[in-house]
Amino acid sequence: MSQTENHARRERPSPPDGPRSVDRPDRIELTGLTVFAHHGVHEHERVHGQEFVVDLIVEFDMRSAAESDEVADTVDYGKLALTTVEHVRRDPVNLLETVAERVASAILTDGRIDAVEVTIHKPQAPIETAFTDVTVSIRRTQIGQR
């Protein structure tokens, strides 16, 4: 693909009243949200718990919020944080995958959100060798979207 074709493929057509935008969606990123919870397959993880760190990328069209400058027209990142904490803390489960799916499902109940990426970090995972971090990441979209 030529550079011109690649450039044309990434750009959306200009709306009649606004500038062009590239194919990357509008998004809020919330990183480093630390939550103490009791997830894991080992009994000591369930009894003593540990810190989990969550990163979110939430995709939605921000144009109406930018135009109105009203919080009601955007996704409130404070509420995203509280929703995430609530769903990470509740009922212990074995797998990070389950926690990530739980968080993504809760966030997608807001119909304005097109997609969410959830990364769960488990920096104190019970691994018998030196490591920095373990993460599980999932990306989910509203039903009917890719």
- Give the 3-state secondary structure of 77-125: HHHHHHHHHHHHHCCCCCCHHHHHHHHHHHHCCCCCCCEEEEEEECCCC
CATH number at residue 52: 3.30.1130.10
122 is catalytic: yes
Domain that holds residue 107: 25-141
Q: Give me the catalytic one of 39, 87, 121, 122.
A: 122
Q: What is the pLDDT of residues 24-68, one digit of tens each?
A: 899 999 999 999 999 999 999 999 999 999 999 999 999 999 999
10 lies in a domain?
no
The stretch 99-125 carries a mean pLDDT of 97
Higher pLDDT, residue 140 or 7: 140
Q: What is the pTM of this model?
A: 0.82
Q: How many domains does the chain have?
A: 1
